[in-house]
Amino acid sequence: MSKLIRPKHYTPLLNVHQNEMAIKLIKESFQQNLSTTLRLHRTTGPLFVMQGMGINDDLNGVERAVTFPIKDLGDQKAEVVHSLAKWKRLTLAYQKIAPGYGIYTDMNAIRADEELDNTHSLYVDQWDWEQVILPEDRDLEYLKHIVNGIYCSMLRTEFNVCEQYSNIRPRLANKIYFIHAEELRRLYPDKSPKERENLITKAKGSVFIIGIGGALGDGKPHDLRAPDYDDWTTKSENGLAGLNGDLLVWDDILESALELSSMGIRVDKAALCEQLRITGKEERRQLYFHKKLLNDELPLSIGGGIGQSRLCMFFLHKAHIGEVQASIWPDDMRRECEQLNIHLI
Catalytic residues: 57, 111, 126, 246, 259, 262
* CA nearest neighbour of 179 among 157, 202, 201, 153: 201
- Cα angle: 80, vertex 82, 87; to 5 degrees: 85
Q: Which residues pair with 126 in a beta bridge?
A: 107, 307
Run of H or E including 335: helix 331-339
The crossing angle, in degrees rounded to 10, of helices 308-315 and 16-38 is 120
Residue 176: name the closest of 209, 199, 198 by CA. 209
What are all long-range contacts of 328-333, with beta carbons under 8 Å and residues at least 24 apart? 328/122, 329/116, 330/1, 330/116, 332/1, 333/1, 333/4, 333/116
The total of other beta-carbon atoms located within 10 Å of residue 107's CB is: 26
